[in-house]
Structure formats: C-alpha cells, structure tokens
C-alpha cells in the first residue's frame, strides 16, 4: 500500500519538493551537528542554572579548573595544571598560561579568584553558591598563574566541585555597571570552552562554533546547533527527516522503533539516576503507623520485583534492580548490604508477623514513570497492602512532602552526573531536608561526617555504615537504575560515558 | 453604539482581571515556581534561595495585590523563567502568533466557504455528504494528531515542508493547515445553513423570476446575505486562533505566544502566564465585540444598544 502510494504520489511530490526547495539537512556536509532538546535553554551561564540541559551546554562553552575523567572518576588537569594542599585549610592551584577567553583575552589567576569570590558572595545569588560556600572562605591571587583557596571547612568534594560546578569567568564579568548584573553571561556568553557562542535565541536555538584558541584538544565537529523542540514526536520526525542528528531522553518505545531505521542508531547508555520508595519510618505522617515497623518495610522490599521492572519497563540495558539508596557505581555505595530478593510469600509472612495479616491502606505518591509506579503498586497489593496511588506533578508532591502529608513516595535522583554518594545522601538523610523520613539520627551523623573529612578512606567507611543501616532497616525500597536512551544519525559517532552525562563536544563524524 | 462598545470594553477588562485572579490562585495551588525553576534534582537550599529571590515566600494575596498594582501602572513584571520583562517577551512573539492565526484563518476560509456553498447548492447529494464528512472529521481529529500525521506525510515521507520551526513562510504551511482545520466545521456548517436559508427566501425567488441563474444569482444575491453570520463567526474564530495555538505551536516548535503559554505553565512562570491569560481574555472578548459590531454594520436589521 505504501509502495503504491509512493508510486502514485512520488513524481508529483518530487516536483513539488523541487519547487519548494530542499530543507536543511543536518550532518557532515556542512560539518554541523544539530541537536534537539525538550527543555528550553534560556541561560548559558551555568553559575545560574542547574538542569541537565545546562550541564550539556556548559561542557561545550566553558571549562573548569579540572576535568573529572568519567571512567576513572579522577580529577585531571584542565585550566589548572595541578593542585596542592599547602596546609589543612589552603589549597594552591597552578594554572596554565595559554588559556584564552572567547573574546581573545588571556585567563589569569585574577579571573579565577574573581569567579570563585563572586560565587560565594551573598549578593551573587549563584546557584553554585550553597555548594561552594560549604568549603570556600575566599580565593586569593598569588601570581598570574597561582591561586590560593582559603577554606572555610574541610570538605572531601573540593576538587570535584572545582571540576564540575564552577565555570570560569573574566574578572569583572558581573560588575560592568553600578549594580551587579546576574545575567551578564546569560546570553552574551564568554567562556573558555571548546565552543564559543555564535548566536543564541533563548528557548529557540543556540549556535556554537569551534573555538580555535581553545587550550585543549580541538573538537572534531566545527559547529553545533542546539534547538529546543518541546515535542518528542516532532524531534522524532526531525531526526527521520534529517533535520537533527541527536536527541536524548528518548522514551524507550520511540528509541526502539526509530532506532530500527538503517540511518538512525538507538544508543542506550548508563545514567546515574535511580528510583526508590521513601518510607515514613519515623512516623512523621502517622505516628505508630505500619511503616514504623521494620517488618512491614522489609515486607515491602520483598514484594517488589525490581529486576523485572528494570528489564521490561525500563528497557534493560544499563538499567537494573538496585538494593542500595545510591547508584552502585557511586563512591561509597557499598553493595554488600542486606538484600531483599523478590519473594511475595515472605512479604506476606512479614506483614502477618507485624500484625497486618490483612494488609493496610497506604497512600503511595509518585510523579515519574507511571508504568513503574503502577507495577510497584501491583506488587505491593499482591502482598495485601491496599495502595492508593497518588500520581501527581512533581510540584504537588514537593508541596505535600513539605507539609508532611506523604507516608510513602516513589522518588528519583540523578546526582547531576556526580558518581559520589554525597549528594543523594545529603539531600535524603539530613535533618534539614523534608525528604528525610527515616528519623535515624545515626545515619544523619554518618552522612554529615562523611562530608567533613577529606580522607577518602574515612568517607567510604561513613557511607558504608549509613548505606548498610539504611538497607538493614529498610528505610527505602530501592527500585532500579536508569538507562539513558539516545537517537543519533548513523553518520555521527557519539561516545557514551559511564557517568551518564552527554558530551556532545566529544562527537565526531564517522 | 458608542455606549455599547464602552460597556463591552469595560466588561472585557473585568473578565480579563477575573480570569487572571483565577489563574493566579490555581497556578499557586498546583505548582511551586521555585521548584519548577530550580529543576527536579535541585538542592533544597537552592530552591529556598530562588523562593526568596522572587519573593515567593510571601502570602499569595500579597503577591497578587502587588501584581495587580503593577499592572495598573502598565508593568506586567519580570518573567521568573526567562528573567526578562514579560511585555518584551510577549512583544517578541506576538508577530509570529498573529502570522499563524491569520494564515490559519485563511485556510479556514479557503476550505469552509466553498465547501459550505457546494453542500448547500447540492443538498442531500454525495457532495453534501462529503462536506459533512469533512466537517465531522475536522471536528473529531485532535490538533496534535493531525499535526504529526502531516509532518510524517509532508515533511518526512515526502519532504516538501520543514518539520518544525518558524524561520520562513514554508514553516507556517502545515501548522496553519492544522490550526485552520479545527475551524472548518462551524464555518462550513454555518455557510451551508445560511445559504440554504437564503436560497429559499422570497427575494431569491424574485431574482430567479427575473432570469438570474447560476453564478450571477449566487454571487450577486445569495452569497452576500449568507456570508453575514459567517463573518461574525470568523471574527470569533480569529480569537480562538490567537489564544488556541498552544498545541499547534508546540508540535511545530513555533516560537509564538501559544508555546510561550505552555512553557510558562509548565515552568510555573506566574508573571508570564498572568499576562498571557490577560491578553487572551481581552482578545476573546474583543473578537466577540467585533463580531457584534460587524453584524450590526452588515445587517441593518440588527440594532445594538
């Protein structure tokens, strides 16, 4: 039928196509990689943004003092050539002397010190301020290629933060007028990254071109155009029509279907995002409620068939059932913890032992991956727990959780691509977080202690204690890790990194 | 007449403010702008920082009062999400939306008027039934589905038009068709009904007795009167096109007010949503007013006041 339609309409359509002119084809012909993103790029300054799209953009337009090697998780030189703790509270960082900003000026220690001092300034309102202020008191210029970072507190993540969170800015970037201008780098961006911004229309398109004076290895592709296309179906059509080369966060069914075309590849890479159920073990919502009993929580852990969820609902690949409140590849995420294999019968026994032979009613809140939420609901109902699935928008869940109205919710955390247990642990097991429902003060102490030492051995031990206790007490029902699905045209070589962060700047044409 | 227009204008402003209040309250109940701006994995301390920066930690009635006072001074505020004045944001995009709206209206007219006339002149024939089928189909098919089908057919399988964007006139062809199609049923049915009624009226019988037949009867005598109700409906439909392009603009990645509305709602960008709702409400009421005035101007039997 399709072939017949083509035969009948083909000549007419060909003529029409010639008359209207060909569309723009993405690809090696004009050495331009065209990428599509669902979320809008509104601001090119990563000091004032947080989302994954912005990390991707910042990796192209900016450079930091160090690079994290995604395979080894070691900090490698970037703008900095080395660092040294010259005493407990001072880090000396040596800089390259050949780093140029996109406007042609040379980067010096004054630029680095300005950037860091601005970030921690109370008036900067930078999104990195909270993180960097945890350890930095001030940055001091020693000479053109040397900066001293005077610490406010010992912190094990100093070098990692330098490598991931703070793009470098020119001295005075935010102080061109009488008042600080937070948006100075939002559109007219000047960085030191491998690509410079040729044009930027917020929410529509960013055109990047290779920066010839980049201090590192020159990227293989000359131009990268990042378009905002809000509808995944439209992105799908664009890649099929040759309008784009790359799309990410692709729903599994779309990725599998479109990936069957000979000119498009479906790539499934790792992602540090995990999902889990947080349980009100502390009885915050319901004092002496069922979830305060460890046997009930263990029963719920036995009830969920996480391996089948990973294989059939998450698409397999890098996705797998997990047993810890952190991604297995993250630093400190020990795996020799108590495991609750899928055993609904054992779940029913534990419920009966806890005094709930007929189960109980439970509001389970969720906002992501509805099929997974429904599978979890079904598994829990199979052992007798009567689930009322409250599938809502994230904002609604946040509000209800802040009001202490949620006894259990399916959460998700991506750690911003950081392969360390620190972020997920701090956000979910600290006394200042409404996500912390375990009520276990010892876990909180271990998590906080792990942030206050630079001794990696000691940190690993603190996290081992915390992760082991969380599993043993079944404070969470860990569910699955994620797979990142991409669609790329077959002429594009897009390398996948183990931290799940897409690095378009490392792409090349086949 | 002037009195009537003044009354309707006052009503339009009242409607716009009422709708804006409802939207403000609903948006604040349903979302937390600080979380929406910060993103899913943001540190709670960053969320709190954003909340304080935008004054979102203040009571809702204080914020609405402040918004209202600023609007009365002509200041619609600064977008949380885009971090620029909302009026500038709207001004940048209104041209695109108006282009799409008028193109869509053109499509509606080009399809619905001839089809309605053909159906009326060929009552109860296959032509009439075909026109009915077109109307029912256009009514039943959702915009996003029609958009995606047209993209697959005319942009992917046969690459005549671009898939998405708004850079050239070619980018507007498919979205204009999609947006225009949804207005075909009411206009076509009204045209058909109006023409049937006119064709059965006394003055047409008189014209026939004078020897008028065919095209001259249709164009000189029948169409002019049959089009009267259609013109006013088209004015209302234009309002629909301006305010109702959310899905179409999103599917075709057109950078107009509809897409801005969707982005703002998803991002809980309250100042932008407020201004857009205000504008959309005004446009709807203004188009209804225009329809009334057109009716009165075109048909002396109708008197307003």
Q: Rounded mean pLDDT of A399-428? A: 87
Burial of A110 (0-12, 13-18, 19+ CB in 10 A): middle
Q: Do residue A328 and residue A444 come from a single domain?
A: yes
Q: Do residue A99 and residue A205 come from a single domain?
A: no
pLDDT-based confidence at A251, cuts 50/70/90? confident
Is the Cβ–Cβ distance between A336 and A324 less than 8 Å?
A: no
Residue at token pair 């991506």: A414
Residue A469, pLDDT above cutoff 60: yes
Residues in chain A with CB shorter than 8 Å from the CB of B250 are: 230-231
| Partner-chain contact B160 A414, CB within 8 Å | no
Phi and psi at B211, nearest 5°, equal 105, 0
Tokens of B218: 């249709």
Q: Do residue A321 and residue A366 come from a single domain?
A: yes
Q: Closest partner residue to A125 among B53, B82, B156, by Cβ?
A: B53
Task: Indicate if the alpha-carbon torsion angle A10, A14, A20, A21 is positive or negative.
Answer: positive
Q: Closest partner residue to A17 among B32, B158, B252, by Cβ?
A: B158
Instruction: Tell me which residue of A298, A282, A292, A293 sits closest to A337, measured CA to CA.
Output: A298
> Is A213 domain-assigned?
yes
Is the Cβ–Cβ distance between B73 and B87 less than 8 Å?
A: no
Residues in chain B with CB shorter than 8 Å from the CB of A228 are: 253
Q: Do residue A197 and residue A275 come from a single domain?
A: no
* Whether A256 contacts chain B with CB within 8 A: no
pLDDT above 70 coverage of chain A, percent:
95
Q: How far apart are CA A445 and CA B255, in angstroms?
A: 50
Give the mean pLDDT of chain A: 88
DSSP A200-217: EETTTEEEEEE-TT-SSP
* Whether B251 contacts chain A with CB within 8 A: yes
Q: What's the CATH code of the domain at A142?
A: 3.90.76.10
Q: Do residue A318 and residue A459 come from a single domain?
A: yes
How close does chain A come to B266, measured CA to CA in Å?
10
Q: Do residue A240 and residue A276 come from a single domain?
A: no
Q: How far apart are CA B229 and CA B186, in angstroms?
A: 11
The 10 Å CB-count burial string (b at 16+, else e) for A231-269 is bebbbbbbbbbbbbbbbbbbebebbeebbeeeebbbbbb
Q: What is the pLDDT of residues B108-156, one digit of tens each?
A: 999 999 899 888 888 889 998 998 888 888 888 888 889 889 998 998 8
> Is A259 domain-assigned?
no
| Partner-chain contact B164 A13, CB within 8 Å | no
Q: What pLDDT score does A45 carry?
A: 92
Q: What pLDDT score does B300 carry?
A: 66
pLDDT-based confidence at A477, cuts 50/70/90? very high
Q: What pLDDT score does A351 carry?
A: 95
How close does chain A come to B259, measured CA to CA in Å?
9
* Whether B40 contacts chain A with CB within 8 A: yes
Residue at token pair 């100093």: A158
Restricting to A residues 431-470, those with a Cβ less than 8 Å away from any Cβ of B are 432-435
Q: Would you say the pTM of this structure is higher than 0.95?
A: no
How close does chain B come to A398, measured CA to CA in Å?
8
pLDDT-based confidence at B301, cuts 50/70/90? low
Q: Closest partner residue to B32 among A9, A399, A434, by Cβ?
A: A399
Q: What is the pLDDT of residues A106-129, one digit of tens each?
A: 999 999 999 999 999 988 888 888
Q: What is the pLDDT of residues A161-193, one digit of tens each?
A: 999 899 999 999 999 888 888 888 888 899 999
DSSP A242-288: TS-SEEES--HHHHHHHTTSTTEEEEEEEEEEEEEEEE-TT-SSSTT
* Whether A22 contacts chain B with CB within 8 A: yes
pLDDT-based confidence at A1, cuts 50/70/90? very low
Q: Do residue A327 and residue A416 come from a single domain?
A: yes
Q: What is the pLDDT of residues A59-116, one digit of tens each?
A: 999 999 999 887 777 889 999 999 999 988 999 999 999 999 999 999 999 999 999 9
pLDDT above 90 coverage of chain B, percent:
11
Residue B43, pLDDT above cutoff 90: no
| Partner-chain contact A127 B45, CB within 8 Å | no
Residue A22, pLDDT above cutoff 60: no
Q: What pLDDT score does B304 carry?
A: 53
Domain count, chain A: 3
Higher pLDDT, A442 or A484: A442
* Whether B258 contacts chain A with CB within 8 A: no
Residues in chain A with CB shorter than 8 Å from the CB of B51 are: none
pLDDT above 90 coverage of chain A, percent:
59
> Is A180 domain-assigned?
no
* Whether A403 contacts chain B with CB within 8 A: no
For residue B131, give Cα distances in angstroms to A265, A383, A470, B138: 44, 57, 67, 11
Residue at token pair 């108006």: B98
* Whether A42 contacts chain B with CB within 8 A: yes
Give the mean pLDDT of chain B: 83
Restricting to A residues 373-392, those with a Cβ less than 8 Å away from any Cβ of B are none
* Length of chain A as a residue count: 510
Residues in chain B with CB shorter than 8 Å from the CB of A425 are: none
Residue B204, pLDDT above cutoff 80: no
Interface test with B, best of A23, A24, A402 (most B CBs within 10 A): A23
Q: Do residue A311 and residue A408 come from a single domain?
A: yes
Q: Closest partner residue to B255 among A50, A129, A203, by Cβ?
A: A203
Q: How far apart are CA A284 and CA A278, in angstroms?
A: 12
pLDDT-based confidence at A265, cuts 50/70/90? very high
pLDDT-based confidence at B302, cuts 50/70/90? low
Residues in chain B with CB shorter than 8 Å from the CB of A231 are: 144, 250-251, 253
Q: Do residue A204 and residue A290 come from a single domain?
A: no
Q: What pLDDT score does A25 carry?
A: 59
Residues in chain B with CB shorter than 8 Å from the CB of A130 are: 43, 45-46, 49
Q: Rounded mean pLDDT of B18-44? A: 75
Q: Do residue A441 and residue A378 come from a single domain?
A: yes
For residue A317, give Cα distances in angstroms to A252, A261, A267, A312: 11, 20, 10, 10
Residue B303, pLDDT above cutoff 70: no
Query: Quick one: closest CA in B to A41, which residue?
Result: B82
Residue A42, pLDDT above cutoff 80: yes
Q: What pLDDT score does A21 carry?
A: 43
Residue A431, pLDDT above cutoff 50: yes
| Partner-chain contact A127 B251, CB within 8 Å | no
| Partner-chain contact A230 B253, CB within 8 Å | yes
Q: What pLDDT score does A40 carry?
A: 82
> Is A174 domain-assigned?
no
Residue B52, pLDDT above cutoff 90: no
Q: What pLDDT score does B138 carry?
A: 84
Q: Do residue A93 and residue A224 come from a single domain?
A: no
Higher pLDDT, B39 or B273: B273
Q: How far apart are CA A451 and CA A459, in angstroms?
A: 7
* Whether A473 contacts chain B with CB within 8 A: no
Lowest average pLDDT, out of A14-28, A339-353, B164-178, goes to A14-28
| Partner-chain contact B170 A20, CB within 8 Å | yes
Residue A299, pLDDT above cutoff 80: yes
Q: Do residue A13 and residue A102 come from a single domain?
A: no
Residues in chain A with CB shorter than 8 Å from the CB of B144 are: 231, 233
* Whether B167 contacts chain A with CB within 8 A: no
Q: What is the pLDDT of residues A279-298, one digit of tens each?
A: 999 999 988 899 999 999 99
Q: What's the CATH code of the domain at A340?
A: 3.10.105.10
A31 CB-near residues (< 8 Å, 6+ apart): A221, A222, A223, A509
| Partner-chain contact A129 B43, CB within 8 Å | no
For residue A145, give Cα distances in angstroms to A111, A136, A148, A171: 10, 19, 10, 14
| Partner-chain contact B160 A20, CB within 8 Å | yes
For residue B292, give Cα distances in angstroms to B192, B193, B197, B242: 21, 20, 21, 19
For residue B287, give Cα distances in angstroms to A79, A397, A468, B110, B297: 59, 40, 66, 21, 15
How close does chain A come to B238, measured CA to CA in Å?
25
* Whether A416 contacts chain B with CB within 8 A: yes
* Whether A232 contacts chain B with CB within 8 A: no
| Partner-chain contact A230 B38, CB within 8 Å | no
Residue A375, pLDDT above cutoff 60: yes
pLDDT-based confidence at B7, cuts 50/70/90? confident
Instruction: Tell me which residue of A390, A424, A418, A468 sits closest to A70, measured CA to CA.
Output: A418
Interface test with A, best of B163, B174, B246 (most A CBs within 10 A): B163
* Whether A106 contacts chain B with CB within 8 A: no
Size of interface A-B (CB pairs under 8 A): 121
> Is A161 domain-assigned?
yes
Regarding beta strands A246-248 and A361-366, do their DSSP bridges make them parallel or antiparallel, or are they unpaired? unpaired
Is the Cβ–Cβ distance between B158 and A18 less than 8 Å?
A: no
> Is A427 domain-assigned?
yes
Residue A8, pLDDT above cutoff 50: no
> Is A281 domain-assigned?
yes
Q: Rounded mean pLDDT of A478-487? A: 92
Structural domain for A333, as ranges = 271-483
B297 CB neighbour count, 10 Å cutoff: 12
How close does chain B come to A216, measured CA to CA in Å?
31
Residue B31, pLDDT above cutoff 80: no
> Is A31 domain-assigned?
yes
Residues in chain B with CB shorter than 8 Å from the CB of A398 are: 32, 35
How close does chain A come to B206, measured CA to CA in Å?
47
Q: What pLDDT score does B235 carry?
A: 83
Q: What pLDDT score does A6 carry?
A: 42
Q: What's the CATH code of the domain at A215?
A: 3.40.190.10
């Amino acid at each position: 039928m399709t072939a017949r339609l083509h035969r009948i309409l083909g000549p007419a359509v060909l003529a029409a196509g010639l008359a209207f002119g060909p569309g723009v084809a993405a690809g090696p012909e004009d050495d331009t990689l065209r990428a599509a993103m669902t979320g809008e790029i509104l601001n090119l300054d990563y000091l004032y943004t947080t989302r994954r799209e912005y990390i991707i953009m910042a990796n192209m337009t900016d450079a930091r003092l160090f690079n994290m090697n995604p395979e080894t998780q070691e900090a490698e030189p970037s703008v900095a050539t080395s660092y040294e703790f010259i005493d407990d509270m001072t880090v000396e960082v040596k800089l390259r002397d050949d780093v140029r900003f996109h406007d042609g000026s040379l980067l010096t220690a004054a630029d680095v010190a300005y950037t860091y001092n601005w970030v921690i300034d109370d008036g900067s309102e930078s999104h990195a301020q909270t993180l960097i202020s945890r350890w930095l008191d001030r940055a001091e210029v020693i000479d053109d290629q040397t900066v001293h970072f005077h610490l406010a507190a010992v912190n094990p993540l100093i070098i990692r933060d330098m490598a991931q969170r703070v793009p470098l800015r020119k001295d005075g970037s935010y102080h061109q007028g009488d008042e600080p201008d937070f948006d100075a780098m939002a559109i007219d961006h000047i960085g030191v990254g491998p690509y410079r911004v040729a044009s930027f229309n917020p929410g529509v398109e960013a055109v990047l071109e290779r920066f010839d004076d980049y201090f590192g290895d020159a990227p293989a592709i000359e131009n990268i155009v990042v378009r905002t296309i809000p509808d995944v179906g439209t992105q799908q059509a664009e890649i099929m029509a040759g309008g784009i080369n790359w799309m990410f966060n692709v729903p599994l069914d779309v990725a599998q279907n479109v990936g069957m075309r000979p000119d498009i590849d479906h790539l499934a890479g790792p992602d540090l995002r995990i999902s889990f159920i947080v349980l009100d073990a502390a009885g915050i919502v319901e004092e002496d409620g069922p979830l305060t009993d460890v046997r009930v929580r263990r029963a719920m852990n036995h009830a969920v068939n996480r391996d089948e969820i990973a294989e059939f609902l998450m698409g397999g690949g890098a996705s797998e059932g997990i047993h810890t409140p952190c991604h297995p590849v993250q630093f400190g995420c020990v795996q020799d913890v108590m495991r609750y294999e899928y055993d609904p019968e054992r779940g029913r026994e534990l419920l009966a032992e806890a005094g709930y032979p007929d189960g109980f009613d439970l509001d389970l809140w969720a906002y992501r991956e509805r099929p997974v939420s429904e599978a979890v609901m079904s598994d829990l109902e199979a052992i007798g727990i009567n689930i009322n699935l409250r599938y809502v928008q994230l904002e609604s869940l946040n509000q209800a959780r802040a009001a202490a109205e949620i006894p259990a919710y399916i959460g998700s955390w991506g750690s911003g691509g950081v392969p360390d247990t620190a972020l997920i642990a701090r956000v979910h097991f600290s006394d200042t977080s409404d996500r912390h429902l375990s009520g276990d003060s010892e876990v909180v102490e271990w998590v906080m202690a792990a942030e206050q030492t630079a001794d990696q051995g000691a940190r690993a031990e603190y996290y081992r204690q915390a992760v082991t206790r969380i599993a043993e007490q079944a404070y969470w029902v860990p569910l699955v890790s994620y797979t990142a699905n991409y669609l790329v045209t077959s002429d594009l070589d897009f390398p996948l990194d183990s931290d799940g962060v897409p690095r378009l700047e490392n792409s090349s044409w086949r | 007449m002037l009195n009537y227009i003044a009354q309707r204008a006052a009503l339009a402003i009242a409607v716009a403010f009422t709708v804006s209040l409802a939207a403000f309250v609903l948006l604040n109940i349903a979302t937390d702008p600080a979380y929406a701006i910060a993103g899913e994995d943001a540190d709670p301390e960053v969320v709190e920082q954003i909340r304080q920066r935008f004054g979102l930690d203040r009571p809702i009635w204080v914020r609405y009062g402040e918004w209202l006072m600023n609007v009365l001074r002509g200041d619609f505020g600064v977008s949380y999400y885009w971090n620029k004045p909302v009026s500038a944001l709207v001004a940048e995009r209104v041209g695109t939306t108006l282009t799409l709206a008028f193109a869509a209206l053109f499509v509606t007219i080009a399809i619905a008027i001839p089809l309605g006339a053909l159906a009326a002149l060929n009552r109860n024939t296959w032509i009439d039934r075909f026109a009915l089928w077109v109307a029912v189909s256009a009514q039943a098919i959702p915009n996003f589905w029609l958009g995606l089908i047209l993209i697959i057919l005319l942009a992917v399988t046969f690459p005549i038009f671009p898939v998405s964007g708004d850079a050239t006139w070619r980018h507007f062809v498919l979205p204009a068709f999609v947006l225009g199609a949804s207005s075909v049923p009411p206009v076509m049915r009204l045209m058909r009904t109006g023409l049937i009624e006119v064709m059965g009226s006394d003055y047409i019988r008189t014209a026939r007795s004078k020897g008028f037949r065919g095209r001259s009867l249709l164009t000189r005598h029948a169409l002019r009167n049959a089009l009267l109700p259609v013109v006013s409906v088209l004015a209302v439909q234009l309002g629909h096109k301006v305010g109702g392009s959310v899905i179409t603009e999103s599917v075709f990645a057109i950078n107009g007010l509809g897409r801005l509305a969707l982005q703002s709602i998803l991002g809980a960008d309250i100042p932008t949503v407020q201004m857009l709702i205000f504008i959309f409400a005004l446009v709807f009421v203004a188009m209804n007013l225009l329809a009334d005035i057109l009716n009165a101007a075109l048909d002396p039997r109708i008197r307003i006041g």
